[in-house]
Amino acid sequence: MKKYWKDYQKDIAEDNYFYVRSCIRQNFFPGAENLFIDILRNKLGKVVFEDADHTTCTGIGYHTDIVPLETTMTVVARQFALMKEKGFKNLVVSCVTSFGLYSEILDLWKHQPELKKKIAGYLVEATGRIFDEPGNMVHASDILYKYRHEIAAIAKHKLVDKETGEPLKIVDHIGCHYAKTFPERGVGGSEFPQVLTGLINAWGGSTVDYPERRHCCGFGFRNYLVQANRGYSISQSKIKLESMQPYEPDLIVANCPGCAMFLDRWQYTLEETEGSVYGPNDRKIPVVTHEELAGLVLGYDPWEIGLQTHQVPVEEMLDKIGIEYDPDLKYADRQGNLIGNPEMINQQVC
């Protein structure tokens, strides 16, 4: 068994990270990436570099078939070139779509070196840059997994009910392009996903296994981006939510920004359109990202890490753990001035 499990481990660099951001995570979870960088630099003492000139990897365009393979490869090669220019070798990717895409590209270049040579030519022609492949390439959740026990050692909170002492029941959702495109590049692969359960267990929570644990969140790229196709997307999230409902989860955690967004937003839509909610006591289930989960146990202010940008309110979950927050600052700006409240319709207001 031990020998078998070794096949599901991966090499995660210890330090000196070149960080590339996610389009979706920046848009919908705007506190998460700066939180991740802060944890690495100021809690774990790591070096993290972010290049202002990195761009989208084009992943959403690639998977909606409006950006060809060789274009995407050359854009990714440019990211690698920026890393080389700054003297870094360890790439940390925020987005799961990007992570899957980088994995696919490196695999294709491994099997077809002439393709890599062609892309190198395109990059020089277009930008004058040259690149090296990363020495180590991981998803941001891999770093938190690697240092989960170090984070537990300095944590301010545990993922337990402060009243009963019982572990919170937490659903993990692993992004498909983290675990399914190249299972050997994800901790535990797609069959034995460990990257988030490792965090949950190390920080005091309990994980919920349920029949549709591995089902896609439903992004479906063109199946969401085109308004007429969105029935596909919400239907897939509904399959997951119905499947997890009997286990009465306190919380969902996802390492893919798209998955976190859809599992959050579609709960709102399902309540509005069908009156359906899937959490215990006729409530919706809060959804957080891996960075936000780490931030909560480490004692960061929930509003400073962006939990007010989630559609499903998080206050009941915070109260259950015993995390303090100032309700008056939830919808405030940087100076503490109230921006104005979102127009809540039929919401569980906390």
Partner 1 sequence: MNKQDLSGLIMADPRYSEACRSCMNCGVCTAICPASGYYDYDPRVIVNLVRESDEETLTDMLSSDLIWYCGQCMSCKPRCPRGNIPGVLIQILRAVSINTGLFVHSALGRQQLAIKRSIGHNILETGYCVHPTRVDPETHPEQGPVWAWMSNNADQVYGRFDKGYDKAGPGLLRKISPEALGDLDRIFEVTGCKKLWNTIETESEKHI
Ranges within 313-332 binding partner 1 (CB under 8 A): 331-332
CA–centroid distance for 126 within its chain: 32
**33 is an interface residue for partner 1 by CB under 8 A:** yes
**122 is an interface residue for partner 1 by CB under 8 A:** yes
Reported as half-sphere exposure (CB side, CA atoms, 13 A), residue 136 has a value of 18
**What distance in Å separates the CA atoms of residue 140 and residue 152, rounded to the nearest whole number?**
17
In the complex, the smallest distance separating the C-beta of residue 301 from partner 1, rounded to whole angstroms, is 11
Q: Which of 189, 198, 205, 286 is in the footprint of partner 1 by CB under 8 A?
A: 189
Contact 257, 24 (CB under 8 A): yes
**210 is an interface residue for partner 1 by CB under 8 A:** no
The gap between the terminal CA atoms of the chain, to the nearest Å, is 47
Q: Which of 167, 188, 220, 302 is in the footprint of partner 1 by CB under 8 A?
A: 220
- Reduced to 3 states, what is the DSSP secondary structure of residue 21? coil
For partner 1, which is the closer residue by CB, 158 or 214? 214
In the complex, the smallest distance separating the C-beta of residue 339 from partner 1, rounded to whole angstroms, is 5
Instruction: Indicate the helix (H) or strand (E) that contains 252.
Output: strand 251-254
- Reduced to 3 states, what is the DSSP secondary structure of residue 14? coil
CA–centroid distance for 174 within its chain: 8
In the complex, the smallest distance separating the C-beta of residue 22 from partner 1, rounded to whole angstroms, is 10
In the complex, the smallest distance separating the C-beta of residue 158 from partner 1, rounded to whole angstroms, is 26
**What distance in Å separates the CA atoms of residue 149 and residue 199, rounded to the nearest whole number?**
8
**339 is an interface residue for partner 1 by CB under 8 A:** yes
**269 is an interface residue for partner 1 by CB under 8 A:** yes
For 257, other C-beta atoms within 10 Å of its C-beta total 25
For partner 1, which is the closer residue by CB, 44 or 124? 124
For 64, other C-beta atoms within 10 Å of its C-beta total 15
Of 130-149, binders to partner 1 (CB under 8 A) are none
**55 is an interface residue for partner 1 by CB under 8 A:** yes
**204 is an interface residue for partner 1 by CB under 8 A:** no
Give the CA radius of gyration of the chain. 20
**197 is an interface residue for partner 1 by CB under 8 A:** no
Mark 92-121 with x for binding to partner 1 (rule: CB under 8 A) and - for no binding.
--------x------xx--xx--x------
**159 is an interface residue for partner 1 by CB under 8 A:** no
**214 is an interface residue for partner 1 by CB under 8 A:** yes
The pair of three-digit structure tokens given for residue 41, joined into one six-digit string: 């630099």
Reported as half-sphere exposure (CB side, CA atoms, 13 A), residue 48 has a value of 23
* 330, 335, 338, 344 alpha-carbon torsion, rounded to 10°: -40
The count of chain residues that interact with partner 1, using the rule CB under 8 A, is 98
Site stretch for partner 1 (CB under 8 A), options 158-166, 209-217, 289-297, 315-323: 209-217
Beta-strand pair 90-93/48-49 = unpaired
Q: Which of 8, 43, 44, 50 is in the footprint of partner 1 by CB under 8 A?
A: 50
Residue corresponding to tokens 């780490």? 294
Closest CA to 108 of 97, 96, 121, 117: 117
The pair of three-digit structure tokens given for residue 97, joined into one six-digit string: 């779509």
For partner 1, which is the closer residue by CB, 64 or 201? 64
For partner 1, which is the closer residue by CB, 69 or 154? 69
In the complex, the smallest distance separating the C-beta of residue 219 from partner 1, rounded to whole angstroms, is 7
**341 is an interface residue for partner 1 by CB under 8 A:** yes
For partner 1, which is the closer residue by CB, 152 or 232? 232
In the complex, the smallest distance separating the C-beta of residue 341 from partner 1, rounded to whole angstroms, is 7
